[in-house]
Each structure stands twice: as structure tokens, then as C-alpha cells.
């Protein structure tokens, strides 16, 4: 089952508002088996709204609109759609009373402008909106059906959850669109695609999408139009097969964060972790401490940004002199020093050139050295990351987490 | 001048990706006098892409697409548009070389799959994309023009700024929509509205919007459909007047970050800064080091997450015992210790309860203590922030930066 979405608002097209409503609707409808076939955004102009809604009805006969139900003069969606369906607007006393009561409760003055929010196209179903003044409307006619929702995110969400989804679920008849995200890191998209090829060829009817970002490549598996139970088991089985192709890179499912995966592995083993950060400047610590309950694993660390702090931490002056702050020797000394100072079983250190300035031919912007130290010793890694200062730092924090995670899993295998 | 935008990606319709590209494009084009008349989002399906692009061309003859230029098989935008225009794809050796060089620089293996990213519809202008592998394409034909951009936000933005906007600006040459953001922090929205009231009444024809978020309340001033020169001077004058009403809270314009404002003030005065972070866990350091060139001001610091690290830093055991880790006494000791250890003229310290667990009646979740220490002594501040763990940590890092900034400005006045 599919429908089209028309989002109405000049501010959406000017880019003053990021359209988070569409993402919410996509997920909420997908979960009950309704697919958004197309989304159109138009400004608050009668002609633009009318043509977008008419065209969308022509394709799917079922359309959800958001926005344009407010009390100001650029809120004209309702009038446009009523005219499209040839329906007169009727004043509903009980809606007006609800609006008045709401304003009274908040101690606000009601304006005559709000009266238009109590007008309803003849025969439309009124969807109560306790979070705001404008109710949702479900309009039916020869052209099909239009479900009109307010654009205020909290109001729209409440109406979808309480009024729209329950009604649509019955019609969609149980078949759903479900997705599952498998998260990978520290592997290039093209290499990943090669490694996954044998499994990918056998995935149908599931589809696979590659979603690269700074933390790695997320793989989205989607089951289209399937039974809810079947969808879940198909997705899990497929995710398992993909995971086996890249076990060292596939770290989690769904919204799972690598920091949280790392913390769980450490916690299981009773290990604790300290960090010494130069170019990431606190980002690695921030990633770890963003996770609730991180304090039982994460000890803390040193932001060794200036060489003065590196020296104070215990990096020997001769190493800084001979090799520089961004070097294998320095990052190893940082990891060992922070491990010993804070008596942590495992320590991670990062030192690199985040740019935009500070690069040279020998040490380009993007060069980052990593060290992971534990009781067994210290491993170092060299990477050159592309992108801006922000990109390089984000990638470096993620890579450090990845190395910290792999080190502990590898040690487990070794011992 | 107007165009239509077609964003391509199944993930957009499923709601797994929030469409931030559209907001960026709306603003970037508005600033050069180009209006987005309609935006259409379609899934990665050849028919859906073809019909959306064809219809959009029929209305405006100029279309920007985003997405579908990657190396995987669901990336099909280019093929679809080439077919629509009746243009064969031609392999460009120099694009292939650029992709190879990029992969070589990053020490990554190039896959044969990437070859399709070097294919260009005959006669199209290639827009170089140094941030990624797929170049942008500007295709012209009987149907009109299509500008194809990758969907990866960083790459898309770079291409718009460096390749697309300069070319379109020449053609547009008309009235623009310009806005200017004035950023405020550490003041409630309602208090801010009261303080700004006298100025707000005189702002017309400019409009003012309040945009609260975790870092404070941004004020967006907008000049609608005006001459570029007039808009800029009206906006700047109005921002100046607003700023005078709340000088201690209004810290910057546009995208300006409080960390960058703080660093500038310190740099001017030859001051350096160190931090000791508990509940923010590195976030404060990360905010400061996100700014290029921060190393001449920011020394570094200690992530004193575990009490063991607080003791090692120099917080006396008796203070931790008597008052706890989240207390005025501890945060003062942290600031003084880090100031002395790293010989920094100014030190900031943060200790709080970010939740979700760990709160009590006396010390609720959201309670955060701050200290700012310099040669003249140490000030402390107590705040209780609302929201989730993420919200509380974000607000705490911003508040610490605000106190660090105000301290230095206040000292300057005092001396």
C-alpha cells in the first residue's frame, strides 16, 4: 500500500526549517506497511498546493499533507483542498469551543483569526489534536483521499500515532516495510561491496543499500511488503550473513554506537579504559561518556593538546624532538604513559594533523597515529583520513574506538 | 529565477535519513536570488527518478538533483538522466585518474565498481568534487538543464559553494532573500523576548524569529525580496541594535561558535586556557579543538571522569569524601589544580550529574557545577539543566564556554 506526501511551507523551500516531519512519517508509515511513493514540498501558494495535491492524488489516490493549517493568512491548505474536492467549508461550534478552552487554559487571548481553524470541509472526518489548535482532517471525494495534518512536529506526530496510523494499519492489511541497519566501520565502501557480493546476490526479496558517512558505511536491509514476523526473521538472518563476511568491521545493528559496543565488551571482561588525545582534543572521551553508564569502564584521560601537556604526561622530550608530536613514537609513549598513570588495563592514544594548516609533504593533513596499549604491549596504526578538520577528527575518534574494540576481541582469541 | 529540486534516495522516503541537503540548498540558493519552486523526493527506482525529473523540467527547465551518484547498483540517477536526454555515457580517463589518485592517497584499494563513477553523459560539464569520488554533472539538452550532485552532504555543499552557486549567481542577478543569525546563550527565551521588545517593534520590514536550541536561542533576522546591498546593511544594523540589548549574552553572528569567540578574546589578550572535565567527559575540549588554530590558546586538560583521576589531578581526598564529586568544593579544586599543573592563566572545570541515573533529591540529574580560575582567583557557578543526558552535557559545555568568555571580558574591565 502506498501514498504520497505533500509538505506545505515556504520556509521548507527557503531552507529555514529542516524537514524532520518527513523522516518521522516515513518511519511511522513504513512500520505499518504503508510506503511513501513520493514526497513533494511546495510553498504556501494556492496554485502550488493545488497542483501538487491534484497530481499526487492522480498517482496514488491517497495523500497526506502537512502544514498550512494555522491561523495566519499564508495558511491556506484547507481552503485549497476543499476547493479541489468541491466541498464548502462549515463552521464547527465544538471545535471552536475546544480552541477557546485551550487558550483560556494557557491564559492567552483568542483572536478572531483563529475562527477559521474551526472550519471543516463538508463531510470530512475531524481528527482531534489536543496538542494544538488546528485539528487534523480526513477528506474523501471522487479524487481520492487527503489526510491533512498540521506542520508543528509535536502536533503532527501525535495525530499520526493516535489517529492516522491506527486507521491506515487496518487497510494496509498487515504487510509492512521493515528495515534493519547493519553498521560497519574502517572499510571502504567499494571493498565492502566486494566482500558482500556473494551474500548480496542471494538477498532477494530483501534489498540492500549502502549508506556511507564519517563513522563508516551503514548497510540498510529492507524487507518490502512482507508479513511482520517474516520480515523480522528474514532481516535478522540476512544481517547475520552479511556480518560473517566482515566480522571485524560490522560492529552493530540499528542505532548502536561503536562506543557502546566497545564499552559492553570491556565491561564483560572487567576491563577499564583510559585515553590520551591530541588532535581529537576530547572527542574520543566525549564519544565514550555520551553512553549512559560509561563510568564503570571509562576512567578518563588527558587531552594532551599542547606538547607541554604531552611532556607532563610523560612523553620524553627526546622523542618529541626527534620524531615530532605526530609520530608513532609519540603516540606509543602517550598510550603507555596514560595506561600507567591511571592504572588502566587498556589505553588508547591519538595524535594527528587535523588541519586545515600544519601539514607537510612528509606529514600531510589527515595523517593520524593511533596506539592501543594493554598488559601485553602496544600496537600502533597509521591512517590518512580525507576531508575537513571536522571530518578528520570524527573519523579519527571512530577509528580509535574501532582499534580499542578489536584489540580486546583479538586478545580474547589469543589468550 | 527559479528551479526545482529532486532529491533521490529510498532512505529519504523511508525516513532513515533526515533531508538536511534540502535546507542547505534552499538557503544557499536564496542568498543568490534563486528560488526553489518545488522539491520532489523519490526512491532509487529508475521510473520514479525519470518521471520526477521529466515533470520538473517541464515546469522550470532547470533542475538540481542530489543523490544516486555512488558506485553501488542502487546509484542509478546518472543513467536515468542520460537516457532522458538521449545522451550516451562516455568514460573519462581523467576522472578515473583522479579517483585512482584519491584512493592511492588514502591507501585504499580501488574497485572495478568505481569505474562507473568516471562515466559522463556526452557533452555534460564535469564539476570537480575534491571531497569525494563522484564528480557533479551539469547536463544540457532540449529538455532543459539538470545539475546532478552527490547526496553526501559534505560533497554536495562543496559543489554548490564552489561550482553551482557562482554559475547561477550570474544568471539570477535579481532580488534576494537574506537572513542573519544573532546567537545568544545563557538567557531564557521569554527573558530575551522582554529585553528585545523595544527594538523588535521597530524592525519592519525585517522579520525576527526565535530559534531555541541546546546552545541557546538564535535570533533569525530576515530581509525578504530585497536588493542584495540593502538587505545586508539593514540586517547588520538590526543585529547591532538587538545585540546592544543583551551584550553579555549575544556572542556572535551567523555560524559563529562560542568556542571560536572565546578563543579570539583569549588570543587577543595573550591568554591560554586549560580544562578539567568530569560529566562533559571531553566535550568541552572537543568544542575548543574543533576550531582551527585553537592550539595557540588551548593547552589541553584532564578528563577527570573517575574519582581516581580527580585525586591524581590533585583534588584532596577529604573534599571528595566530605562534599562528593559533584560539588562546589570539588569543581574549584579541579580548576585550581589544572591551572597550576599546566601553567595556564585560565582554567575551566565542570562536574555534574548527566543522568539518566545517579541523581538524588539533594543532587538531581542535571545539576552541574562550574569553576573558572585565573590569577585573580576562582569563581564557581551552579546550574540545573533540563533534558536528556545528551542535552545536559551539551548545555554544560556551552555554559562553561560562556563563563570562560565572560570571565576574561569582565577581568579586562576590572583591570
Q: What is the pLDDT of residues A88-144, one digit of tens each?
A: 999 999 999 988 888 788 777 777 778 888 999 999 999 999 888 889 999 999 999
The pLDDT of residue B412 is: 60
Bond preceding residue A248 cis, omega within 30 of 0: no
Chain B residue whose CA is closest to A20: B18
3-state secondary structure B177-211: EEEEEEEECCCCHHHHHHHHHHHHCCCCCCEEEEE
Chain B residue whose CA is closest to A290: B390
CA B6 – CA B148 distance, rounded (Å): 9
Query: Dihedrals φ, ψ of A316, to 5°?
Result: -65, 140
Give A394's contacts (C-beta < 8 A, 6+ positions apart).
A214, A215, A283
High-pLDDT (> 90) share of chain B, % = 75
Chain B residue whose CA is closest to A367: B106
CA torsion B388-B390-B392-B394 (nearest 10°) is -150
CB atoms within 10 A of CB A126: 16
- A371, A294, A369, A363: which is closest to A337 by C-alpha? A371
Long-range contacts of B73-78 (CB under 8 A, 24+ apart): B74/A207, B74/A209, B74/A210, B74/B10, B74/B44, B75/B44, B76/B44, B76/B46, B76/B49, B77/B8, B77/B49, B77/B148, B78/B119, B78/B121, B78/B137, B78/B148
Name chain B contacts of A24, Cβ cutoff 8 Å.
15
Question: B30 CA to chain A: closest CA distance, Å?
Answer: 6
Q: Which three cell numbers stand for residue B79?
A: 543513467
Question: What is Dmax (Cα atoms) for chain B?
Answer: 81
Chain A residue whose CA is closest to B390: A290
Q: Please name the residue that has the C-alpha cell 557533479.
A: B136
Decide if pLDDT at A312 tops 80: yes
- pLDDT tens-digit map of B22-57: 999 999 998 888 999 999 999 999 999 999 999 999
Among B44, B343, B390, beta carbon nearest to A290: B390
CATH of domain A176-253: 3.30.70.2860
Decide if pLDDT at A174 tops 70: no
Is B20 within 8 Å of A18 when comparing Cβ atoms? yes
DSSP H helix total and E strand total for chain B: 15, 17
Question: B152 CA to chain A: closest CA distance, Å?
Answer: 8
The pLDDT of residue A169 is: 87
Alpha carbon distances (Å) from B33 to B5, B177, B208, B227, B378? 15, 7, 20, 9, 51
CA A148 – CA A334 distance, rounded (Å): 59
Is B14 within 8 Å of A181 when comparing Cβ atoms? no
Residue A186 three-state SS:
coil
Within B25-77, strands assigned E span 35-42, 62-66
Q: What does the pLDDT average to over B73-91?
A: 91
CA B336 – CA B338 distance, rounded (Å): 6
- pLDDT tens-digit map of A5-54: 999 998 899 898 888 999 999 989 988 889 899 999 999 899 999 999 99
The pLDDT of residue B6 is: 97
CB atoms within 10 A of CB B197: 10
- pLDDT tens-digit map of A221-269: 988 777 878 888 999 999 999 999 999 999 999 989 999 999 999 999 9
Alpha carbon distances (Å) from B377 to B89, B346, B396? 70, 10, 22
Which segments of chain B belong to CATH 3.30.70.2860? Answer: 176-253
What kind of architecture, by CATH, is found in domain B258-414? Alpha-Beta Complex (3.90)
- pLDDT tens-digit map of A293-303: 999 999 999 99
CA A62 – CA A34 distance, rounded (Å): 11
CB distance A219 to A208 below 8 Å:
yes
Is A189 within 8 Å of B71 when comparing Cβ atoms? yes
Positive or negative, the CA dihedral B46, B44, B34, B224 is positive
To the nearest whole number, what is the mean pLDDT of chain A?
92
Among B30, B280, B288, beta carbon nearest to A14: B30
Residue B126: its H or E element: strand B125-127
DSSP H helix total and E strand total for chain A: 15, 17
- pLDDT tens-digit map of A206-216: 989 898 899 99
- pLDDT tens-digit map of B120-150: 999 999 999 988 888 999 999 999 999 999 9
Decide if pLDDT at A289 tops 50: yes
Is B301 within 8 Å of A302 when comparing Cβ atoms? yes
Q: Which three cell numbers stand for residue A233?
A: 526473521
Candidate CATH numbers 3.40.1710.10, 3.40.980.10, 2.102.10.10, 1.20.59.20; the one for domain A2-172: 3.40.980.10
The pLDDT of residue B28 is: 93
Is A391 within 8 Å of B154 when comparing Cβ atoms? yes
Name chain A contacts of B24, Cβ cutoff 8 Å.
15
Decide if pLDDT at A415 tops 50: no
To the nearest whole number, what is the mean pLDDT of chain B?
92
Beta bridge partners of A211: A218
- pLDDT tens-digit map of B54-68: 999 999 999 999 998
Which segments of chain B belong to CATH 3.90.950.20? Answer: 258-414
The pLDDT of residue A405 is: 98
Q: Which pTM was predicted?
A: 0.83
Beta bridge partners of A347: A274, A373
Bond preceding residue B263 cis, omega within 30 of 0: no
Name chain B contacts of A281, Cβ cutoff 8 Å.
282, 285-286, 288-290, 294, 298, 300
Is A293 within 8 Å of B12 when comparing Cβ atoms? no
The pLDDT of residue B184 is: 97
Is A38 within 8 Å of B42 when comparing Cβ atoms? yes
CB distance B258 to B288 below 8 Å:
no
CB atoms within 10 A of CB B58: 12
Give A407's contacts (C-beta < 8 A, 6+ positions apart).
A346, A372, A374, A379
Which segments of chain A belong to CATH 3.40.980.10? Answer: 2-172
CA A262 – CA A404 distance, rounded (Å): 7
The pLDDT of residue B228 is: 77
3-state secondary structure A144-184: EEEEEECCCHHHHHHHHHHHHHHHHHHHHCCCEEEEEEEEE
Q: Which three cell numbers stand for residue A98?
A: 475546544
Q: How far from the centroid of its chain's Cα atoms is residue B376's Cα?
A: 35
Is B286 within 8 Å of A289 when comparing Cβ atoms? no
Name chain A contacts of B306, Cβ cutoff 8 Å.
295, 298-300, 342
- pLDDT tens-digit map of A153-169: 889 999 999 999 999 98
High-pLDDT (> 70) share of chain B, % = 98
Name chain B contacts of A47, Cβ cutoff 8 Å.
none
Is A289 within 8 Å of B298 when comparing Cβ atoms? no
Q: How confident is the model at residue B109 (pLDDT cuts 50, 70, 90)?
A: confident
- A347, A337, A375: which is closest to A288 by C-alpha? A347
- pLDDT tens-digit map of B312-321: 999 999 999 9
Could you say which DSSP state residue B160 is in? Answer: I
The pLDDT of residue A412 is: 60
- pLDDT tens-digit map of B155-191: 999 999 999 999 998 887 667 888 899 999 999 888 8
Q: How confident is the model at residue B106 (pLDDT cuts 50, 70, 90)?
A: confident
Amino acid at each position: 500500500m502506498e501514498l504520497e506526501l505533500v509538505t506545505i511551507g515556504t520556509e521548507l523551500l527557503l531552507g529555514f526549517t529542516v524537514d524532520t516531519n518527513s523522516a518521522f512519517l516515513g518511519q511511522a508509515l513504513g512500520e505499518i506497511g504503508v510506503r511513501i511513493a513520493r514526497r513533494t514540498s511546495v510553498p504556501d501558494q494556492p496554485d502550488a498546493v493545488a497542483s501538487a495535491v491534484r497530481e499526487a492524488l492522480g498517482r496514488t489516490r491517497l495523500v497526506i499533507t502537512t502544514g498550512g493549517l494555522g491561523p495566519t493568512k499564508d495558511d491556506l491548505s484547507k481552503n485549497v483542498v476543499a476547493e479541489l474536492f468541491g466541498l464548502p467549508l462549515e463552521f464547527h461550534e465544538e471545535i471552536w469551543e475546544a480552541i477557546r478552552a485551550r487558550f483560556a487554559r494557557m491564559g492567552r487571548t483568542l483572536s478572531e483569526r483563529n475562527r477559521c481553524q474551526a472550519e471543516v470541509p463538508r463531510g470530512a472526518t475531524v481528527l482531534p489534536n489536543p496538542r494544538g489548535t488546528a485539528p487534523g482532517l480526513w477528506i474523501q471525494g471522487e479524487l481520492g483521499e487527503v489526510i491533512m495534518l498540521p506542520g508543528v512536529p509535536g502536533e503532527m506526530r501525535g495525530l499520526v500515532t493516535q489517529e492516522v496510523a491506527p486507521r491506515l494499519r487496518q487497510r494496509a492489511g498487515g504487510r509492512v516495510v521493515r528495515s534493519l541497519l547493519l553498521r560497519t566501520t574502517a572499510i571502504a565502501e567499494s571493498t565492502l561491496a566486494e566482500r558482500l557480493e556473494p551474500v548480496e546476490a542471494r538477498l532477494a526479496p530483501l534489498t540492500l543499500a549502502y549508506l556511507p558517512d564519517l563513522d563508516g558505511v551503514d548497510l540498510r536491509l529492507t524487507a518490502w511488503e512482507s508479513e511482520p514476523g517474516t520480515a523480522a526473521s528474514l532481516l535478522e538472518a540476512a544481517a547475520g550473513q552479511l556480518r560473517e563476511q566482515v566480522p571485524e568491521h560490522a560492529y552493530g545493528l540499528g542505532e548502536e554506537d561503536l562506543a557502546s559496543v566497545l564499552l559492553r565488551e570491556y565491561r564483560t571482561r572487567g576491563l577499564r579504559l583510559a585515553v590520551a588525545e591530541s588532535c581529537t582534543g576530547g572527542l574520543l572521551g566525549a564519544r565514550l561518556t555520551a553512553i549512559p553508564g560509561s563510568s564503570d569502564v571509562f576512567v578518563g584521560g588527558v587531552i594532551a593538546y599542547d606538547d607541554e601537556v604531552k611532556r607532563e604526561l610523560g612523553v620524553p622530550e627526546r622523542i618529541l624532538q626527534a620524531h615530532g608530536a605526530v609520530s608513532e613514537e609519540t603516540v606509543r609513549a602517550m598510550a603507555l604513559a596514560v595506561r600507567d598513570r591511571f592504572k588502566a588495563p587498556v589505553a588508547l592514544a591519538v595524535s594527528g594533523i587535523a588541519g586545515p594548516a600544519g601539514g607537510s609533504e612528509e606529514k600531510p593533513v589527515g595523517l593520524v597515529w593511533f596506539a592501543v596499549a594493554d598488559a601485553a604491549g602496544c600496537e600502533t596504526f597509521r591512517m590518512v583520513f580525507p576531508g575537513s578538520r571536522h571530518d578528520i577528527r570524527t573519523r579519527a575518534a571512530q577509528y580509535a574506538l574501532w582499534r580499542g574494540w578489536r584489540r580486546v576481541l583479538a586478545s580474547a582469541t589469543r589468550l
